[in-house]
Structure 1
Amino acid sequence: MVTVLPQMWDGVLELRPVIPNDLAQLLPLCVEHAAYEGSTIHEDDQVMRWNSACFGTPPQLYGWVCSEDEHLGAALKGYMTASISVSTWSAKPYVLLDCIYLKPIIRRMGIGRSMLMTLREFARGQGCQEVQWQTILSNETGSAFYSSLGAIPVTKTRWSLPVE
């Protein structure tokens, strides 16, 4: 499903599911997103793994991109990725929003809200009752935005244990 986004941009912006041709453009957006969060990522065959994760059967990763216009391969201005998980406590599925990022030039135009409403509809269509995500503590702008949507913060610390 393609969603035409709020018209506060010189051209037409649309939100649509990611297609294989988008994956090469996704990497620079991810690098920009990591830098925004004070982190770094490096190219390490992500495009190949994204292709498998997004387009395998069943998909392990779902993605949407914010594209400049209706032409496939147009410059991407943002992205959102999510997966479906199951809560042990409730034994119910939920959507886990992994990443959401918009280039600074298109922020504060209602696009992030449209993206999260798209994700909410996706969750509903998958039989999920909620969407969960996390943000870095220093992301005060993002936290204020999420609160404006009616999202409720859940305070936890995320840990990472390398396998290798």
Structure 2
Amino acid sequence: MTAIHPLTAADRDEWLPLWRGYLEFYEADLPSFVTDVVFQRLTDGEGVHGAIARDDERRAVGLVHWLFHPSTWSVGPYCYLEDLFVAAEVRGQGVGRALIAHVRDQATDAGAAKVYWLTHETNTTGRALYDRVAELTGFVHYEIEL
């Protein structure tokens, strides 16, 4: 059974390979100082939250990061699920679903109006899960790098 726990500073050595796997999946390369800052934010309460999934043997097998922000379309905040990653060897065993449920519960407790996230259109494995637990809105994502 998967257990989800808030990310703490003591989890860094187990979080890091999952984070690197996530970056590799999206073919992203971040300088190590960015990873350091990200982990610090996730564990010191700067508004970005993190959790780690562990299997029955207490091995770290997944991560999720999220944040809350105000919205012009609701009184309560929105919850943006920014990063979700499950180790390849345990995909399809409910870890991703459990991590999404954890964020949904945190958002409910915070009075959020909704949880939303983005994924790449080629992420067929992830999208198979997302199609079961959420609604595909049809919005198209644009961005400007600064």
Q: Under a length normalisation based on structure 1, what TM-score does the superposition of the two structures give?
A: 0.78
The one-letter amino acid of 1:32's match is G
Q: CA deviation at 1:160?
A: 3.6
Q: CA deviation at 1:98?
A: 0.6
For these two proteins, the number of residue pairs brought into alignment is: 146
Match of 2:80 in 1: 96
Please say if 1:64 is aligned against 2:64.
Answer: no
Higher RCO (C-alpha under 8 Å, 6+ residues apart):
2
Query: Residues 52 and 60 of structure 2 are in contact (CA less than 8 Å); yes or no, is this contact kept in structure 1?
Result: yes
Distance 2:48 2:116 in 1: 15
Distance 1:150 1:99 in 2: 16
Higher helix share: 2
Q: CA deviation at 1:139?
A: 0.8
Distance 2:75 2:11 in 1: 34
Match of 1:55 in 2: 44
Distance 2:61 2:56 in 1: 10
Please say if 1:133 is aligned against 2:133.
Answer: no
More displaced stretch, 17-26 vs 108-117? 17-26
Q: Give unmatched runs, 5+ long, in structure 1.
A: 6-13
RMSD of aligned Cα (Å)? 2.1
Shift >4 Å, 4+ stretches: none
Query: Residues 80 and 115 of structure 1 are in contact (CA less than 8 Å); yes or no, is this contact kept in structure 2?
Result: yes
Q: Give unmatched runs, 5+ long, in structure 2.
A: none
Query: Residues 74 and 113 of structure 2 are in contact (CA less than 8 Å); yes or no, is this contact kept in structure 1?
Result: no
Query: Residues 42 and 50 of structure 2 are in contact (CA less than 8 Å); yes or no, is this contact kept in structure 1?
Result: no
The one-letter amino acid of 2:52's match is V
Could you tell me the percent identity over the aligned residues? 22
Distance 1:104 1:118 in 2: 20
Q: CA deviation at 1:46?
A: 2.6
Distance 1:81 1:109 in 2: 20
